[in-house]
Amino acid sequence: MDVVARWPAVETLARVLLALGVGLFVGLEREWRGKEAGLRTFAFVSLLGALGALLGTPFALAAIAGTAILILVVNWASIHDGQGIELTTSAALLVMAVTGITCGLGHRFTPAAVAVITAGLLAWKERLASFSHRLTAEEIRSAILLGLLAFAIFPVLPTAPVDSWGLVYPRAAFTTVLLIAALGFVNYVLLKAAGPRGIALTGFLGGLVNSTVTVTEMAERTREGGPAWIGPASRAIALATMAMLLRNSVLLGLLAPAALRSALPAFLALLLAAAAFAAAQGRTDEGAPVPELPLRSPFSLRSAVYYGILFVALEVLGETGRRLLGAWGLYAVSLIGGLVSSASAVASAASLGAHGLASPQLAGSAALVASLASISVNAVIVGRVARVPRLMRATLAMVVTLVVTGCVVLAGQRLL
């Protein structure tokens, strides 16, 4: 009784109510699906964990053991009824028991976050299953390779530069390559998960992965589909360009926050201009088949080596050009690099800024130049692939507007 008397009433009530709330929140989904272990069962399991934590470690372990016995009973009843083993419900009950324990220990954010994640995993069963079935062996290998490089190879790389000029930092270069590949892979997963949701969404998500491939596909579809594709393709190209700018600005901010702060006005102006072009284009795409973009998984051993070599080459050439020709040397290298891979060119400029080899203003401006170079490629692609005058004019107008906007903002910043 002395132990009970020392429990603060308000704090204890708050912990118990939180455990009740998270149990009911997760159990609601199980109840909706008609499972034997539903709303009340999950609430009781969570409360059991909370009471076990309040009483002490032995009682918390006993609560988990009691939940395990309950799971055996639930599965026995399910098998007896010919419905098979309830693996998902069993796992969710165990998670709720431990979540209840965290509530009893006084945690707030952790149990609430776990409850939301658990309910999401349960509710999105069909979508997750559909997504996993659409994955290819190559994509699964890409995810495994990403984890292998990130957790096995990265920690053993040297942090100091390996060249006498202080340009090549192996761990920093590897981090940048992983960051580029990981961003592309996450965007690729989003594109796969979204499925055929409309030409505009496909254009935007495709632009996050590879804007060049996306613009090329939209141009080809317009050439094959005729005038009905001009409006939707124009909007998709504008959205792909907007997505590329957004990806590059995020990459710049992750690697060199000070450089992003310097270039942020220009990137915002470009994003607003691209969004305005997307809004002004035709919105009618009903009846037009959503294209399956021919995008490969952006992470593989070949792509990692490609990004690594390109990144290091651009970083070395950029710093060499800066030392020989000043800012214009770095701009020239960023311009050429942006024509090949804007992500690598932006990353190399950001890396120079992060290591103090270029000022934040110069690094941000170089990243902007690389992005503008990538935008300019769109006009060439549409002109060579689509050969549809209206689409060519719309794309050219967008490219010219964005390039002029970026140059004006960049010149204004340099003058100030």
SS3 per residue for 224-269: HHCHHHHHHHHHHHHHHHHHHHHHHHHHHHHHCHHHHHHHHHHHHH
Same domain, 115 and 6: yes
Look at the chain and report how many structural domains it folds into. 2
Same domain, 225 and 365: yes
Residue 128 counted as domain residue:
no
Same domain, 228 and 304: yes
* Each residue's pLDDT tens digit, 303-339: 667 667 777 777 778 778 877 778 888 888 888 888 8
What's the mean pLDDT in 207-227? Answer: 77
Structure token digits, residue 105: 């220990």
Q: Give CA–CA dist 254/182, Å, rounded.
A: 13
What's the mean pLDDT in 20-42? Answer: 86
Residue 47 counted as domain residue:
yes
Same domain, 87 and 200: no
**Residue 70 pLDDT exceeds 50:** yes
Same domain, 108 and 222: no
What's the mean pLDDT in 361-390? Answer: 86
pLDDT of residue 195: 54
Same domain, 49 and 101: yes
Q: Provide the residue range defining the domain that includes 113.
A: 2-123
- Nearest-5° Cα angle at 139, 133 to 145: 135
Helix, strand, or coil here: 124?
coil
pLDDT of residue 329: 87
Residue 352 counted as domain residue:
yes
Same domain, 352 and 207: yes
When pLDDT is cut at 50, 70 and 90, the band that residue 1 belongs to is very low
When pLDDT is cut at 50, 70 and 90, the band that residue 163 belongs to is low
Same domain, 211 and 70: no
When pLDDT is cut at 50, 70 and 90, the band that residue 43 belongs to is very high
Counts of helices then strands in the chain (DSSP H, E): 17, 0
What's the mean pLDDT in 158-163? Answer: 68
Same domain, 91 and 174: no
Residue 130 counted as domain residue:
no
Residue 376 counted as domain residue:
yes
Q: Assign residue 226 a region: left if phi > 0, alpha if psi is -120 to 50, beta otherwise?
A: left
What's the mean pLDDT in 21-40? Answer: 86
Answer yes or no: are the C-beta atoms of 181 and 154 closer than 8 Å.
no
Answer yes or no: are the C-beta atoms of 219 and 385 closer than 8 Å.
yes
* Each residue's pLDDT tens digit, 77-105: 878 777 777 788 888 899 999 999 999 99
